[in-house]
A and B are shown apart, each in its own frame.
Chain A
Amino acid sequence: MAGLVSIRNLRVRFDGNEALRGVDFDVARGEAVGLVGESGCGKSVTWLAALGLLPGKATITGSVMLDGHELLGAPASQLDHVRGGRIAMIFQDPASALNPVHRVGRQVTEALRLHRGMDGAAARAEARRLFDLVGIPDAGRRIEAYPHEMSGGQNQRVMIAMALAGQPELLIADEPTTALDATIQAQILDLLRRLQAETGMALVLISHDLGVVAEMCTRVGVMYGGRIIEEAAEADLFARPGHPYTQGLLAARPDMAGPRRRLEAINGGVPEPWNFPPGCAFAPRCTVMTAACDAEVPALHTIATGHRAACWRAG
């Protein structure tokens, strides 16, 4: 598959604390790839940094290439064309991402004006088509509604319509269904799957929910302590997790089928940024650590075809 985005050694530092410690990650055209990990592991920061959306106090180094063009340090005019155009992003809480004092239709037509130069009747017609596409019933009337008049699921559909307005090649969905109820989550995931198939855009799905990622993605990256610590095809990752952290995450998650078993909790918690271990970030919680784990940060290396892990003992 042809590469679309290529991230190399991406590092982000806030006030002296490192949030990202060297992320290497690729996204191919049209693929659905998942990023999982717990709060603070850097899965959202990776993409906010890549798109230049972090506050000015963040120090960013490394490389983010889109189709062979460097995005880090690119001029604002070029980033404005990328953000919302070639790469769109949707977030967990649609109600706070939408402007509460503007009608939802106007927010979509604004995106159409910015990214596709559409105006007036043409923009309104296209907004209506997008509302139909994302499954908002009675699109002609809902276009006139304000965000507070719509449910959480409907607002997320509006966000998706806005994201689609720029005809993106890549959609970054950051916990898109976390704030939604289970049956509404199923609707939105269904919609994203259908849109991806119809438009051929690539999808990066950021989630703390392993089940969501398993259902939606063909490839998955697992993050911990600001790095990718494992990456594999979805089926491989769930069947043969290589990194002890990934193994721990899978064992800690209760199942919906099979015998009920006691959960295997991972001891301790994520290390604080000011108290980071010198070697592998997971070493203090790891049940199979050795002296080597404290000495040096393990590199992400291939342990099987298309399967990489950052653990001295994996593979």
Chain B
Amino acid sequence: MTPLLEMQGVSRVYRARRGLFGTGTPVRAVDHVSLQVAPGRTLGIVGESGCGKSTAGRLALGLERPDSGAVQFRGAPMAAPGTAAWRAERAQMQLVFQDPLGAMDRRLTIAQQVLEPLEIHGIGTAAERRERLATLLRDVGLRADLAERHPHQLSGGQRQRAVLARALATDPALLVCDEPVSALDVSIQAQIVNMLTDLQAARGIAMIFISHDLAVVRLISHEVAVMYLGRIVEQGEAEAVFAAPIHPYARALVSAVPVSGPRRLERIVLSGDPPNPAQRPPGCAFHPRCALALARCRTEDPDLVTQSDGRMVACHRAGELARAAA
């Protein structure tokens, strides 16, 4: 299947200034990332704060321009930001954030906010829009009478449903969800996760699901990419990656998830904090925290290499680790 969205070797560099008159240090927030997502499929992106997963999502949506590499939507390069073509593309892809209250306008009713994208993109007549509103609210499981309320009159779960209704208003082909359930309680989180999978099944939406919650990502993703300091260190079929991660960082991350009952992976407790992205260690960026690092890891940056099972891993020892895990 041809991918709906494809990122090829995409990098995004920010300049972090030190002090008032200091010169900028380049920070590679996203570094040579290649991803693709097909219609009806979900790609999960996991990693810790500052690993570049949110920036990758914004690059996928064309909200930021890559400094190098290319992003293609439906096989064609993205339109330049601000142009009419770019605005038309916006209707095709939508972003859902963690904090629904912050993503909404507190002065507008739910109905006004859900209908706003239709007005902006000039879709339908007034009567058709009202009808569309009723359908959207039903699809996300919001009672019709909540349409006239304001965001602060809704619970957190209801707000996230309203944000989703707004995102779905233009019938997008791609949804980028950045920590969409992280602020919600477990019982409400399950409602939203089920709704996302149902909506995807019904409409064939492609999703990029960015989260630090590995159990949720495992549940809803077909494929997963693990990021560390701006790069993908492991990528493959979600269940396989979570069952037997190969990259030492991916292993530590998966093994860190607290579970009840016996664990399959022995807990690996990493030493230290993730390094400052502005001071990326030479060689493999993970080597200072890696228990398996060799001399080579300190100097030579490993490429993302496809393994025998189709998984991609950026580690000099990937081959032997894959054999040991199998």
Contact = CB atoms under 8 A, between A and B. Distances in A.
Interface in B196-238: 197, 212, 214-216, 218-219
Interface residues on A, range: 35 or more
Interface stretch (B30-38, B55-63, B260-268): B260-268
Given A181-B48, A256-B242, A263 B185 contact: no
Nearest to A253: B186
B189 A256 contact: no
Given A38-B185, A39-B185, A211 B194 contact: no
Contacts, number: 110
Interface stretch (A48-56, A66-74, A82-90, A182-190): A182-190
A256 B239 contact: no
Interface in A181-222: 181-187, 189-190, 208-212, 214-215
A187 B270 contact: yes
Given A254-B215, A257-B259, A269-B157, A186 B267 contact: yes
B8 interface: no
B218, B242, B257, B274 — which one has the most chain A CB atoms within 10 A of its CB? Answer: B257
Contact of A151 (B189, B197, B273): B273
Contacts of B48: 181-184
B214 A183 contact: no
Contacts of A265: 187-188, 190-191, 194
A39 B182 CA distance: 13
Contacts of A214: 258-261
Contact of B269 (A186, A208, A210, A269): A186
B259 A266 contact: no
Nearest to B264: A257
Contacts of B212: 181-182
B114 interface: no
Given A248-B187, A263-B193, A254 B260 contact: no
B191 A190 contact: no
Given A181-B212, A212-B258, A263-B193, A269 B155 contact: yes
A260 interface: yes
Interface string B247-281: 00000111111111100100101101110000000
A215 B258 contact: yes
B256 A252 contact: no
